[in-house]
């Protein structure tokens, strides 16, 4: 993602805040055609460590550091945030089990921490306690960390993978691990990615979900328990706008605000009122109006459209944040936390960002992963000590369905909306509005032939919903 694109994101974000609309900003990381979003993460959580992207586009880290996953040039744990070395222009972070990833605004990926399985992707198996460049990957729009492997989404909507592949998590038709990125087989039109323990997930622009890798507990959601080294479709899921992979379970958010889950369920992490595994998606009980989801090791999180966080699953360390240590197989409200717009779930801890830029944590703190200056667990949210204001880029909404044809074009575009009316505004890469139209019909023409050739962003406002499409004049 380019620096000017970051500026455009921030411009629209503050414009919406000024308008006081209850809209969750869609990260503008799209390529031709439909482009629901490749979600950027401003918070990430791994095995007893945490990452945050600061508003200065630098990265802070805290917690477990035996493998250098904090990226500060040491292997010493820290229970307060420390700066990751020599990183700037960062827009996205992700955690594996013991390795970290960051995406720069020039479309390159950087990694650090445990590299015994090649999860750093720099052509070696040598761990690093400072960031190193992922080899030979450019044009990246999203990243994801699995337990021992990593994923990247490129701006051509293809997925690339590296690291451990003994269960097929790289999706390239083999079971051979790789310390450099390899393309995932047969996948195109991808708009979001996620990774779990030796399995991977991808969301296509047609709102279907695909999965590959380990499947002993039904993590792939295709009605079997057979692993696959190539992508297979998750059964009976449509209208999906977000995905998340945990240790052995998966979540998906539908465009109607409901959450679906599949895989391992011994701790109730599927949230359907049982402790029975499922190899097909099941609905999470009594959750509506959800705007974001996150999977931990054995627990799950979701944000409602009122900024309240809900949690379910294992709670031995207080990772559900409801003031108890009692696990549960249905969602419970996280205590005393409001106005949340970003979440992340780690092995046994949870993170949240409030709209004021503060970050909060709860759950296990044995390695300082809560970042509050001590190593005491907490079953209620605590503000992270001395952390920079956290970047706001991990926000999802129910979006209007939009198609654009042709794209690219000579400046004449036909837009089709699904049962929506509202406003369309077009911005250039400098954030300047070059077109405004009140939409009165589901299908309408936009004439931009008077504009210079290049990349533009058409943003649709329909009531409380918003969607952005990348369009190209050539």
**In this predicted structure, what is the pLDDT of residue 22?**
30
Residue-wise pLDDT tens digits, 391-405: 875 443 344 557 788
Q: Which domains does the chain have, with CATH numbers?
A: 3-30+400-473 (2.60.40.3080), 43-383 (2.130.10.30)
CB 21, CB 40: distance < 8 Å: no
pLDDT at 200 over 60: yes
Percent of the chain at pLDDT exceeding 90: 69
pLDDT at 40: 62
Q: What is the mean pLDDT of residues 202-229?
A: 96
Q: What is the pLDDT of residue 59?
A: 97
Separation between Cα atoms, residue 8 and residue 24, nearest integer Å: 15
Q: What is the pLDDT of residue 421?
A: 64
- Quickly state the pLDDT bin for 286 (edges 50, 70, 90): very high
Identify the band that residue 111 occupies on the pLDDT scale cut at 50, 70 and 90. very high
Q: Kindly tell me if the per-residue pLDDT of 260 is higher than 90.
A: yes
What is the mean pLDDT of the segment spanning 25-52?
60
Average pLDDT over residues 42-60: 95
Q: Is 230 within 8 Å of 170 (Cβ atoms)?
A: no
* CA distances (Å), origin 371, targets 47, 102, 381: 14, 20, 12
Nearest 5°: phi and psi at 142?
-160, 155
- Mean pLDDT (the chain) is 87
> Residue 23's pLDDT is what?
30
Query: Strands, DSSP E only, in 256-323?
Result: 259-263, 278-283, 290-295, 299-304, 309-313
Would the pLDDT of 14 be above 80?
A: no
pLDDT for res 355: 87
Q: Say what the pLDDT of residue 30 is.
A: 27
Would you say residue 37 has pLDDT above 50? no
> Can you give the length of the chain in residues?
474
Take residue 67 and report the two structure tokens written for it. 């493998």
Whether residue 28 contacts residue 470, with contact meaning beta carbons closer than 8 Å, is answered with: yes
> DSSP letters along 129-164, please?
EEEEEPTT--SEEEEEE-SSEEEEEETTS-EEEEE-
Write out the DSSP string of 363-400.
E--TTSTT-SSS---EEEEEEPTTPPPBP---------
Q: Are strands 43-45 and 49-53 parallel, antiparallel or unpaired?
A: antiparallel
CA atoms within 13 A on the CB side of 91: 28
Does residue 8 surpass a pLDDT of 70? Answer: no
- The string of pLDDT tens digits covering residues 410-462 is 999 988 876 556 778 888 877 788 999 888 887 889 999 999 988 888 877 65
What pLDDT score does 39 carry?
52
Res 211: pLDDT:
98
Tell me, what's the pLDDT at 206?
87
Q: What percent of the chain has pLDDT over 70?
A: 87
CB 269 within 8 A of CB 262: no
Mean pLDDT of 130-159: 94
Band of pLDDT at residue 157, cut at 50, 70 and 90: confident
State the DSSP H helix or E strand holding residue 19, giving kind and residue range, or none if neither: helix 3-19
What pLDDT is stored for residue 139 in this prediction?
87
């Amino acid at each position: 993602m380019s620096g000017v694109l970051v500026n455009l994101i921030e411009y629209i974000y503050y414009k919406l805040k000024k308008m006081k609309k209850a809209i969750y900003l869609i990260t503008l990381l799209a390529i031709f055609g439909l482009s629901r979003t490749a979600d950027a993460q401003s918070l990430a959580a791994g095995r007893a460590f945490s990452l945050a992207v600061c508003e200065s586009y630098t990265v802070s880290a805290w917690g477990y550091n035996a493998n250098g996953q904090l990226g500060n040039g040491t292997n010493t744990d820290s229970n307060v945030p420390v700066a990751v070395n020599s990183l700037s222009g960062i827009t996205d972070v992700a955690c594996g089990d013991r390795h970290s990833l960051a995406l720069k605004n020039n479309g390159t990926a950087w990694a650090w921490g445990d590299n015994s399985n090649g999860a750093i992707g720099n052509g070696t198996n040598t761990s690093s306690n400072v960031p190193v460049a992922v080899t030979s990957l450019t044009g990246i729009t999203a990243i994801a960390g699995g337990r021992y492997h990593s994923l990247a989404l490129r701006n051509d909507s293809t997925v690339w993978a590296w690291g451990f592949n003994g269960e097929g998590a790289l999706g390239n038709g083999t079971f051979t691990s790789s310390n450099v990125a390899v393309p995932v087989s047969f996948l195109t039109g991808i708009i979001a990615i996620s990774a779990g323990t030796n399995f991977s997930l991808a969301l296509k622009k047609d709102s279907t979900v695909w999965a590959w890798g380990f499947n002993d507990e039904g993590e792939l959601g295709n009605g079997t328990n057979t692993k696959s080294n190539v992508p297979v479709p998750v059964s009976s899921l449509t209208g999906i706008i977000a995905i998340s992979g945990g240790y052995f379970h998966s979540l998906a958010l539908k465009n109607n605000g409901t959450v679906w889950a599949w895989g391992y369920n011994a701790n109730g992490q599927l949230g359907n009122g049982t402790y029975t595994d499922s190899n097909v998606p099941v609905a999470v009980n009594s959750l509506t109006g959800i705007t974001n989801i996150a999977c931990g090791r054995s627990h799950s999180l979701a944000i409602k459209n009122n900024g309240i966080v809900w949690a379910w699953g294992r709670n031995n360390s207080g990772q559900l944040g409801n003031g108890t240590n009692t696990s549960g197989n249905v969602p419970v409200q996280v205590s005393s936390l409001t106005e949340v717009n970003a979440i992340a779930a780690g092995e046994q801890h949870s993170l949240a960002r409030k709209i004021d830029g503060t970050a909060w944590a709860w759950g296990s703190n044995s390695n300082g992963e809560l970042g509050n200056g001590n190593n005491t667990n907490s079953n209620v949210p605590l503000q992270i000590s001395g952390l920079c204001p956290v970047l706001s880029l991990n926000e999802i909404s129910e979006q209007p369905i939009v198609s654009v044809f042709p794209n690219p074009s000579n400046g004449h575009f036909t837009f089709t909306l699904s049962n929506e009316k509202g406003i369309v505004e077009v911005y250039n890469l400098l954030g300047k509005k070059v077109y405004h139209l009140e939409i009165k019909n589901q299908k309408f023409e936009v004439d931009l032939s008077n504009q210079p050739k290049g990349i533009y962003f058409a943003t649709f406002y329909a009531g409380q919903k918003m969607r952005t499409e990348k369009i190209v004049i050539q």
